[in-house]
Amino acid sequence: MTATVGRQAQAAARANDVWKVYGSGEAQVVALRGVSAEFEQGRFTAIMGPSGSGKSTLMHCLAGLDSVTRGTVSIGDTTVTGLGDAGLTKLRRDKVGFIFQQFNLLPTLSAKENILLPLSIAGRKPDPAWYDIVIDTVGLRDRLDHRPAQLSGGQQQRVACARALVSRPEVIFADEPTGNLDSRAGAEVLNFLRNSVREHGQTIVMVTHDPTAAAYADRVVFLADGQIVSELIEPTADTVLDTMKKLDASAEVNG
């Protein structure tokens, strides 16, 4: 099934019949089986699915971190499939932002330096107004000179979010951003992500297995066995949970 909801918005990221196969022969694992999906601009999309459903693989392929076996992936008007390392680096530099489960901040740099790192690597100056907005939104103004080791997990993840936002990428990919946080810190980060979509038109694609986290999104895409099996618009934690249960049940029946 192809997820096509929200045609009125232009796609920020698109997967077209994407296959991902690991290994060969007996050890062959098919992670994605012909996934086609569009992720609209200015929307917050969650990708959900049980472990092994291929949700992380899909995100890695979309972000150009992993290559696809068949099919094409594009970000904005750039076709990711077939790009070399230099092209991929440029893509990551200019069009994509990342938020990881493990925060992944550089311990040697202060919070501010971490936030500005993608821009400095690209040799660009931050837009001061936007930078101020980002800093205020994440609420870290008084922590800017601290090293990551001096920040709490939630604060570190907010730094990571700010780092992804500050270069205004076409799309931000978040991989279980609340996986390492307690529920309160997690809620803060999710609120913050949702606001950046609602107020600033940022596009975010988030992989999660937590129904509560998924409920912050505008849309949830469900994956199972490497295929898109369902989706929800304007989800709530309960509807997400129900869908998951159904998926688990059908998986059990099938399995």
Partner 1 sequence: MFRATLKSLLGRKLRLTLSGLAVVLGVMFVSGAFVLTDTLGRTFDAIFADAYEGVDVNVAAKPKIAMSEMEGEQAPPPFPASTVEKVRAVPGVAEATGVVAIDGARLIGSNGKAVASFGPPQLGENWTGETDLIQLREGRGAKAADEIVINKGLADAGKVKLGDRVGVLTPLEPKQQFTIVGIFGYSGGRDSIGGSNEIMFTTPVAQRLMLGEPDTFNSVSVKAADGVSPESLRDSVASAVGGGYDVKTGKQLSEEAAAGFKEALSFFNRILLGFAAVALLVGTFLILNTFSIIVAQRTRELALMRAIGASRRQMIGSVVLEAIAVGLIASVLGLGAGIGIGALLAWAFGNLAGGLTLAGLGIPASAVISAFAVGLVITVVAALLPALRASRIPPIAAMQDVATPDRPLTRITVTGGVVSAVGAVLLFLGLSGNAGGNTLVTILGGVLFAFIGVALLTPLISRPVVSLLGAIFAWSVPGKLGRLNSGRNPRRTAITAAALMVGIALVTGVTVILDSAKSSISGLAQDTIKAELVIAGVQSGPRPPTFDPAVLEKAAAIPGVQLVDGEYGDLAVVGGERTWVAASSDDAALRQIFGVQPTAGDIDRLGPNQMLVSTDTAEDRGLSVGSTVPVQLARGEPSTYTVTGIYGSSQLTNGVILPAEAARDFAIPQPIQGFIQLAPGIRVADVQPQVEALLADSPEVSVADRDAFIEQQAGQVDGLLTMIQILLALAIVIAVLGIVNTLALSVLERTRELGLLRAIGLRRAQTMRMITVEAVVISVFGALLGVVVGAGLGAAVVEALKDEGITDLVLPWTQIGVALGLAAIVGVVAAILPAARAARINVLGAIAHD
From CA 184, how far away is CA 165, in angstroms rounded?
21
- What the block records as the tokens of 197 is 């979509």
Quick one: 14 or 60, whose CB is closer to partner 1? 60
Nearest distance, CB of residue 50 and partner 1, angstroms: 19
Nearest distance, CB of residue 51 and partner 1, angstroms: 14
Q: What is the DSSP letter of 141?
A: G
- Binding to partner 1 by CB under 8 A, coded x per residue (else -) over 59-98, reads -x----xx------------------xx--xx-xxx--xx
Quick one: 6 or 186, whose CB is closer to partner 1? 186
- Taking the mean position of all CA atoms in its chain, how far away is CA 234? 18
From CA 46, how far away is CA 181, in angstroms rounded?
18
Angle between helices 111-122 and 153-166 (to 10 degrees): 20
From CA 211, how far away is CA 242, in angstroms rounded?
9
Restricted to residues 144-163, the positions that interact with partner 1 (CB under 8 A) are 149, 163
Which of 1, 106, 233, 249 binds partner 1 (CB under 8 A)? It is: 106
The enclosing H or E element of 175 equals: strand 171-175
Q: Which amino acid is at 245?
A: K
Segment lying near partner 1 (by CB under 8 A), choices 114-122, 181-189, 224-232, 237-245: 114-122
Quick one: 147 or 194, whose CB is closer to partner 1? 147
From CA 46, how far away is CA 231, in angstroms rounded?
10
Quick one: 2 or 102, whose CB is closer to partner 1? 102
Quick one: 107 or 255, whose CB is closer to partner 1? 107
Query: Total residues at the site for partner 1 (CB under 8 A)?
Result: 27
Bridge partners of 19, per DSSP, are 70
**Which spans of this chain sit near partner 1 (rule: CB under 8 A)?**
60, 65-66, 85-86, 89-90, 92-94, 97-98, 100, 102, 104, 106-109, 117-118, 120-123, 149, 163
